[in-house]
């Protein structure tokens, strides 16, 4: 009787390659979600909170790593950012979350600009 012998090496090789492709794909997808897309736009920042700036109805989250520069190029904290203002905002888009601000460069202050959020709340 003739023995039927099958070589499993090609099958094992295909399984290993498939698993590697799946793992690589999930790692790339996770990095895309984590890092997001970085955009640079000129926006009118019309309001701010303790941890965010508002451009129209959109909220942009400000973190401890966010760099904010006034019109003279001096780095300032969020509390010293006068709004409303026109600013170049570099931010990272993250799926299903508010964008995270990386950098703000104030270009010009708009009429009624103030650093105090209370003044803006009273005016509304």
In a domain, 12, yes or no: no
Mean pLDDT computed over every residue of the chain: 82
In a domain, 26, yes or no: no
Give the structural domain span for 78.
37-123
Mean pLDDT of 78-99: 94
Beta-carbon-side half-sphere exposure of residue 27 (alpha carbons within 13 Å): 6
The reported pLDDT for the residue numbered 60 is 96
Tens of pLDDT along 13-67? 766 767 767 665 655 554 444 568 999 999 999 999 999 999 999 999 999 999 9
Tell me, yes or no, if the pTM score tops 0.75: no
In a domain, 96, yes or no: yes
In a domain, 25, yes or no: no
Q: In the chain, how many domains are there?
A: 1
In a domain, 11, yes or no: no
In a domain, 86, yes or no: yes
d(CA 81, CA 89): 13
In a domain, 76, yes or no: yes
Strand order in the sheet with 83-93: 37-45, 83-93, 100-114, 58-69, 52-55, 47-48
Domain containing 110 — which CATH number?
2.40.50
**Local structure of residue 10 (DSSP, 8 states):** H
């Amino acid at each position: 009787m003739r023995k039927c012998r099958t070589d499993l090496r090609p099958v094992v090789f295909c399984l290993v390659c498939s698993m590697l492709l799946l793992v690589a794909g999930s790692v790339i997808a996770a990095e895309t979600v984590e890092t997001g897309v970085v955009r640079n736009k000129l926006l009118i920042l019309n309001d701010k909170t303790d941890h965010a700036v508002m451009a129209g109805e959109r909220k942009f989250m400000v973190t401890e790593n966010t760099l904010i520069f006034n019109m003279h190029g001096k780095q300032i904290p969020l509390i010293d950012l006068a709004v409303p203002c026109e600013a170049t905002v570099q931010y990272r888009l993250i799926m299903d979350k508010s964008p995270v601000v990386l950098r703000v460069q104030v270009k010009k202050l708009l009429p009624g600009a103030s650093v105090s959020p209370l003044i803006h709340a009273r005016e509304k």
